[in-house]
């Protein structure tokens, strides 16, 4: 049994046959992403391109009133595809630059949340003991606090700039991500393969990085997307209340808020940012879920 296997032509042929036979019955054929998934990805890609290259799109300036000719609350036309708002600003332009605000806040806020919450959660679950108990206690206090009120207070205190909003929304997503990561890590750390890795002389850092982290990723991906959507929504809510970035800078939220004064005149001005927000959230959640399912190598699938 321990002899060197002899290399022969027959063997390599039979290897191929074995592989072919194995591929047939039990294994699931690689799943293909649905058309809808690609639509979602397309929308997100379009958003990304548009927000990154907004400056090159020859849009009218989003924040300066478009004066010649003066057109307040103008309906959509070839000059202004989505019309102009009550201060004669081009709505399409504001929508694009508003996407920039929403996406940047969502992206960096999520990065802060995942970075801090994820690493704290894994650390806490791996060391356990008093450190874990203390950290979890702090996180639960955070969770118990009505986040939107805290965010409103802090912004009032600090000023409504984009970077403050990013930091505050990011920090308030930490406890959720901490909780998910900690639970996933705990489930992982008690598995036999972690003990097996230790029994082969792996250090704690190695075990965390190579054995636990890859198993936490699926849960984290799903939650990343969820958090991203959550932060965009919260930013929208803040904008609607006029507490996000300040007018004349546009965000989807404050566009909806501004236009909500007179629905008869400005239905399209609400529909445009609202549907952008809606589509983005649907795309994020659907694509995130599909990606998570695709990379879910856990046993439960079979």
Partner 1 sequence: MSTSAPDTAVAPDTGTERPTTGELLEVTDLRTTIRTSRGPLVAVDGVSLRLNRGETLGIVGESGSGKTVLSRSIMGLLPGRGTMLSGSVRFDGQELVGAPESLLRSIWGPRIAMVFQDPMTSLNPVHRIGRQIAETLRLHLKLSKKVANQSAVTLLAQVGIPSPELRARNYPIELSGGMRQRVMIAIALACGPELLLADEPTTGLDVTIQAQILDLLAEAQRMRHMAMIFVTHDLGIVATRTDQIMVMYAGRAVEFAPTHQLFANVRMPYTEALLHSTPRMANPSHTRLAAIDGRPPDLVSRPLGCSFAARCPYAQDKCREESPTLVADAAEPDHFYACWYPRGSSTPVDPQGAPSVA
Task: Report the interface residues with partner 1, using CB under 8 A.
Answer: 1-2, 4-5, 7, 11-12, 14-15, 18-19, 22, 27, 128-129, 191-193, 195-203, 206, 210-211, 214-215, 297-299, 302
> Which CB atom, from 22 or from 77, has the smaller least distance to partner 1?
22
Chain centroid to Cα 121, Å, comes to: 18
Least separation in angstroms between residue 186's CB and partner 1 is 13
> Which CB atom, from 8 or from 264, has the smaller least distance to partner 1?
8
> Which CB atom, from 10 or from 58, has the smaller least distance to partner 1?
10
Beta carbons of 250 and 97 less than 8 angstroms apart = yes
Run of H or E including 20: helix 9-23
Least separation in angstroms between residue 52's CB and partner 1 is 33
Of 289, 256, 212, 297, the closest CA to residue 36 belongs to: 289
Segments in 114-161 forming alpha helices (H): 119-127, 129-144, 147-158
Least separation in angstroms between residue 191's CB and partner 1 is 6
Percentage helix, strand, coil for the chain under 3-state DSSP, each rounded to 5: 70, 0, 25
Beta carbons of 220 and 180 less than 8 angstroms apart = yes
Q: Is 144 helix (H, G, I), strand (E, B) or coil?
A: helix
Least separation in angstroms between residue 220's CB and partner 1 is 13
Least separation in angstroms between residue 158's CB and partner 1 is 41
> Which CB atom, from 264 or from 297, has the smaller least distance to partner 1?
297
Least separation in angstroms between residue 147's CB and partner 1 is 33
Q: Is 90 helix (H, G, I), strand (E, B) or coil?
A: strand
> Which CB atom, from 19 or from 149, has the smaller least distance to partner 1?
19
The Cα-based distances of 149 to 35, 97, 153, 155, 172 in angstroms read 40, 27, 6, 10, 11
Least separation in angstroms between residue 110's CB and partner 1 is 23
> Which CB atom, from 68 or from 297, has the smaller least distance to partner 1?
297
Chain centroid to Cα 86, Å, comes to: 33
Least separation in angstroms between residue 185's CB and partner 1 is 14
> Which CB atom, from 152 or from 202, has the smaller least distance to partner 1?
202
Contacts of 85 (CB under 8 A, 6+ apart): 72, 73, 91, 94, 258, 259, 266, 269
**What is the C-alpha separation between 277 and 43, in angstroms, rounded?**
11
> Which CB atom, from 166 or from 189, has the smaller least distance to partner 1?
189
Q: For the CA atoms of 157, 162, 164, 170, what is the dihedral angle to 10 degrees?
A: 130
């Amino acid at each position: 049994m321990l002899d060197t296997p002899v290399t022969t032509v027959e063997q390599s042929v039979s290897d191929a046959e074995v592989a072919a036979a194995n591929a047939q019955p039990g294994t699931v054929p690689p799943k293909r992403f649905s058309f809808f998934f690609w639509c979602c990805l397309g929308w997100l890609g379009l958003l990304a391109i548009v927000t990154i290259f907004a400056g090159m799109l020859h849009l009218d300036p989003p924040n300066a009133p478009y004066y010649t000719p003066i057109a307040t609350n103008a309906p959509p036309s070839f000059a202004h595809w989505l019309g102009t708002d009550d201060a004669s600003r081009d709505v399409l332009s504001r929508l694009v630059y508003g996407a920039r605000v929403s996406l940047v806040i969502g992206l960096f806020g999520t990065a802060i949340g995942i970075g801090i919450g994820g690493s704290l959660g894994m650390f806490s679950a791996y060391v356990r003991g008093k450190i874990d108990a203390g950290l979890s206690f702090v996180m639960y206090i955070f969770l118990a606090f009505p986040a939107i009120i805290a965010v409103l207070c802090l912004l009032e205190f600090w000023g409504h700039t984009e970077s403050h909003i990013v930091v505050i929304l990011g920090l308030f997503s930490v406890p959720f991500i901490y909780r998910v990561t900690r639970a996933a890590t705990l489930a992982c750390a008690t598995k036999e393969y972690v003990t097996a890795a230790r029994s082969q002389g792996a250090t704690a850092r190695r075990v965390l990085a190579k054995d636990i982290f890859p198993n936490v990723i699926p849960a984290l991906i799903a939650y990343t997307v969820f958090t991203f959507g959550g932060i965009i929504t919260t930013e929208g809510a803040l904008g609607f209340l006029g507490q996000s970035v300040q007018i004349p800078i546009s965000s989807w939220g404050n566009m909806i808020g501004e236009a909500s004064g007179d629905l008869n005149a400005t239905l399209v001005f609400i529909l445009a940012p609202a549907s952008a927000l809606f589509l983005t959230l649907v795309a994020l959640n659907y694509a995130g879920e599909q990606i998570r399912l695709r990379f879910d190598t856990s046993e439960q699938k079979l």
